[in-house]
């Protein structure tokens, strides 16, 4: 049933993308954005949330063409035609504004529920670490400041972060998800957090574990060589 719904929505997206009508183009903006290739990590933000100006506090100072971008997101852009250049500018601002709103929305009760559904489906991918056994990932930002770092993927089993596999996902601003989202989701739904993996990879040579003393000696040798380089002393041949 889910695949059928997605196929219908994607067909609808193709219809919207191919139309030349300004009114039709704006009519389904959020649907168009969330189903566009590369935006799979985003959920759809409820219109009621976007229209509540309290939820948008201070965003007008950070987003160029703020009012037009908001009108585009909420399907209220005036019917008058925009030039191609103006449309491109408003579109960029709308994407940026939606991302900032999205970061706030996904830590609300309704937003957490929507992201929970995506997490359960594995929409964000699965942990590449062997001993995490395909544990589903969650998007996270390593800073809340926009345009600084791309989104990362957090594994709640090994508690580490990874780069998305897809280049288009690597281009998503991490601030559109924020630093708190995955941890808040796990606080609200503690049953989601699996027990930490006790399995660890142990380096071996011919079946024997590498001795801690050998590792220490290797580190000492590396430090000695770095010190020689700093002092300009060449190693004997």
- How many angstroms separate the CA atoms of 39 and 13, rounded? 13
Calculate the alpha carbon distances from 140 to 8, 107, 123, 196 in Å.
Answer: 29, 12, 14, 19
pTM: 0.77
113 phi/psi in degrees, rounded to 5: -65, -45
Q: Burial letters for 23-41: b for 16+ Cβ neighbours within 10 Å, e otherwise?
A: eebbebbbebbbbeeebbb
- Residue 63, by phi and psi: left (phi above 0), alpha (psi -120 to 50) or beta? beta
- Residue 45, by phi and psi: left (phi above 0), alpha (psi -120 to 50) or beta? beta
**pLDDT in 10s for each residue of the chain, 237 residues:** 333 333 434 444 444 444 444 434 435 899 999 999 999 999 999 999 999 999 999 999 999 999 999 999 998 887 676 788 888 999 999 999 999 999 999 999 999 999 999 999 999 999 999 999 999 999 999 999 999 999 999 999 999 999 999 999 999 999 999 999 999 999 999 999 998 887 888 888 777 777 766 677 778 888 888 888 888 776 554
- How many angstroms separate the CA atoms of 175 and 181, rounded? 11
């Amino acid at each position: 049933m889910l695949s059928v719904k997605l196929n219908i929505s994607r067909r609808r997206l193709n219809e919207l993308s191919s139309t030349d009508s300004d009114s039709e183009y704006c009519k389904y903006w959020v649907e168009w954005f969330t189903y566009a290739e590369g935006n799979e990590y985003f959920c759809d933000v409820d219109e009621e949330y976007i229209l509540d100006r309290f939820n948008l506090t201070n965003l007008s100072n950070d987003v160029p063409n703020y009012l037009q971008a908001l009108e585009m997101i909420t399907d209220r852009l005036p019917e008058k035609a925009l030039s191609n250049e103006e449309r491109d500018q408003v579109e960029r601002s709308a994407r940026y504004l939606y991302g900032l709103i999205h970061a706030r929305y996904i830590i609300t009760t309704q937003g957490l529920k929507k992201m929970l559904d995506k997490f359960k489906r594995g929409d964000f991918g699965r942990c590449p670490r062997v001993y995490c056994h395909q544990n589903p990932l969650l998007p996270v930002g390593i800073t809340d400041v926009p345009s600084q770092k791309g989104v990362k993927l957090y594994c709640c089993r090994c508690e580490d972060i990874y780069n998305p596999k897809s280049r288009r996902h690597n281009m998503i601003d991490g601030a559109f998800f924020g630093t708190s989202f995955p941890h808040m989701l796990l606080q609200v739904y503690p049953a989601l957090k699996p027990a930490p993996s006790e399995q660890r990879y142990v380096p071996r040579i011919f079946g024997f574990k590498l001795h801690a003393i050998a590792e220490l000696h290797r580190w000492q040798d590396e430090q000695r060589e770095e010190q020689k380089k700093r002092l300009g002393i060449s190693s004997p041949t």
